[in-house]
Chains A and B, each alone.
Chain A
Amino acid sequence: MEVKILHLYDDVMNLYGEYANVSVLARFLADLGCTVSVDTLSLYEQKDISGYDFFYMGSGTERKQKLALSQLVSYRDALNAACEQGKVLLFTGNSFELLGDRLTDAEGTEYEGLHIASFETAEGKRRITGDCLAVFDGFDETLVGFINKCSKTSGVEQPLFKLQMGFGNESDRGAEGFRKNNCFGTHLTGPLLVKNPAMLRYIAALLGAENPERVSYPFMEKGYEITASELRKRLETIK
């Protein structure tokens, strides 16, 4: 089986080690017997992005996010089509905000999004950061992660996670992220698929890998368990 991965703007949207999401997914799929190819789309580069099975984009500074958006809008139709066809799209950190209708910066300037969903995001002057525990209905394991943003997102019809700890779309401890078909947006930053082996398996299965639980990485599993246990302990102390 062949899986073609496209990493969008890895050169600017790479603030929290997000490249690891693509590295680990490529390795995992290859270990599961898939033929994997990874391409990147750099800032200012124009290319045909149809034919990819998995699209990934990570976090950037607020300025670089706008820079990336200025280029990404030319792929609006292609990305909407990919979402409608059930291709897998994963947008983490503030790239998630680009999937919506509109993004407003702290000065009030508006930017048009990709219109994959109708939500809106407004940036502010306050940094919202914190460790997270997130519940997902696709599997039993609670996800671990970190949110690092300065915005609130409203109008999400189908959130991705329910947070036990951390700040959700509206900066409350509630709904976080966005899902439509196999398009996922979340403000969880960094190497989400490394930190959460269950999410890695889930994405691999969506991409057509059979029985992904056949392959596992002991250090990753143990790392997840330790972080999850640290965060659960933390949750007890702040409750």
Chain B
Amino acid sequence: MRKFLAILVCRLIRLVGGLVGKGTSLPGKYALKICPDILARIQKPKMIVAVTGSNGKTSTVEMIASVLKASGKTVAYNAEGSNQIEGVTTMILNSCTLGGKMKQDVLLIESDERYTKYTFRWFHQTHYVITNLYRDQLTRNGHPQWVYDAIKESVFDDTTLLLNADDPTVSLFGQGRDNVLWFGLDHSSVDTEEFSGAYNDGLYCPVCGKPLTYDYYHFNHVGKYRCDSCGFRRHDTDYTVTDVDLENSKITVNGKDEIKLAFRSVYNIYNILAAYAVCTLLGIPGEQIASLVSNYILKNGRYIEFTLGAHPGIFLISKHENSISYDLSFKFAMAQKTPCSVVIVVDAVSRKYFTSETSWLWDINFEQLDQPQVESIYLCGKYCNDLATRFSFTKIPQEKLKVFEDIDAACADLREHGDQQLYAVTCFSDKDKLMSNVTVK
């Protein structure tokens, strides 16, 4: 009876909330008050896939859902922003019958990496994708090892793990267990033998603390590593990007399935690979997944083309407090080799909470922008001075810097001058302050 009531209340609030445009966690919150173990009582699909990690959760979940739907499978899944237990509850109770039975083939859950243990307290996921653990929102998350410990509490013996083998911290989850499937990238043209980045989280073995050796790096501390002291090493992979051809915007998976990339960056490759792995497990043929994922345009708008005056421009939405997302955006921009200006906006550090913390700027490898094709770099927003100070510790000629606290004034300056390509790198929290000044293609 309480179960029925919880489902009903959840749906009613969702309905009313939907009308006034409220978020998706509130209905679940009330349902959990009425029936705290409601998630245990719902009859769920046989296959329950959870996706967590610092970067790429939403993209991975969207891609999996899109392939499953196009392949005739039914799937219930949640969207970004409702990835804690309340949001997951809302989604589940709105996807089941009033009797509490889910009829979908798959339950697919994007799970907040810090709170995932609460969601899976009442049931276990059958498959658990862990994409990566980077320095991300450290003002809330502490550090990647802290997040590792939090996720660890939701890693169960009866769950099959799908782990990114190229990330040493993520690989730790697979230590001493058999039911692990590994995904990763083979050696390819994007790799470097030398480390690049403002800090190196891959210097020491996460198991024994002795030095790690890398054969090569895909980016930052992600690559092929081994510890000669304890034997911890990058695991062989079950799902592998066997070739990366950024020139022609394509990758090859498991030596046979070619996937076209929506844009030429390693940024999304791991998400695609994780999605490929999950869909394969659901019996969808590799070539079918490849064709469905090819040129998949991310709905979350990480890449947007625009014009500003005579400038063509590309938004590369990154995440504040997440240096690797910035590093990869700059890597993409610099690979294009066209004369350009780069616009960086740090105005509100987060859209969800208050902080004035700017330490993360020192973790970004701005040195990448020390290229002759970069004509100028606009540093904008409330924290433009902190950006300018950070840039004063790079080799970039200081006369290339233009510092504007006022974002509109920076855009006005660009509108009046020049026609070179623009790369605008900022976070969701500051995106609209730029968007209001440009024309989106």
Contacts and interface: CB of A to CB of B under 8 A. Distances in A.
A223 B385 contact: yes
Interface stretch (A15-23, A82-90, A108-116, A168-176): A15-23
Interface string A17-49: 101100110010000000000000001100000
Contacts of B204: 11-12, 43, 64, 67
Interface string B194-217: 000011100110000101000000
Contacts of A219: 385-386, 388-389, 392, 403
Nearest to A220: B389
Interface string B403-416: 10000000000000
Interface residues on A, range: 35 or more
Interface in B316-375: 354-363
A127 B150 CA distance: 11
A226 interface: yes
Q: Which of the listed residues B141, B145, B385 has the most CB atoms from chain A within 10 Å of its own CB?
A: B385
A131 B143 contact: no
Nearest to A238: B354
Contacts of B360: 16-17
B199 to A, nearest CB: 6
Contacts of A129: 139-140, 142
A194 B389 CA distance: 8
Contacts of B79: none
Contacts of B363: 17
Given A219-B403, A223-B385, A146 B145 contact: no
Q: Which of the listed residues A24, A144, A190 has the most CB atoms from chain B within 10 Å of its own CB?
A: A190
A64 B386 CA distance: 28
Nearest to B211: A44
A190 B385 contact: no
Interface of B: 135, 138-146, 198-200, 203-204, 209, 211, 354-363, 382-383, 385-386, 388-390, 392-393, 403
A122 interface: no
Contact of A14 (B140, B199, B357, B358): B199
A196 interface: no
A231 B356 CA distance: 7
A27 B198 CA distance: 18
Interface in A176-200: 189-191, 194-195
Given A222-B385, A223-B385, A131 B359 contact: no
B401 to A, nearest CB: 10
A61 interface: yes
Given A17-B361, A144-B356, A190-B357, A223 B145 contact: no
A184 to B, nearest CB: 18
B435 to A, nearest CB: 24
Contacts of A223: 358, 383, 385-386, 388-389
Nearest to B135: A15
A14 B389 CA distance: 19
Contacts of A194: 389
Contact of A234 (B140, B144, B354, B388): B354
Nearest to B114: A127
A67 B399 CA distance: 43
A146 B139 contact: yes
A180 to B, nearest CB: 26
Contacts of B355: 131, 146
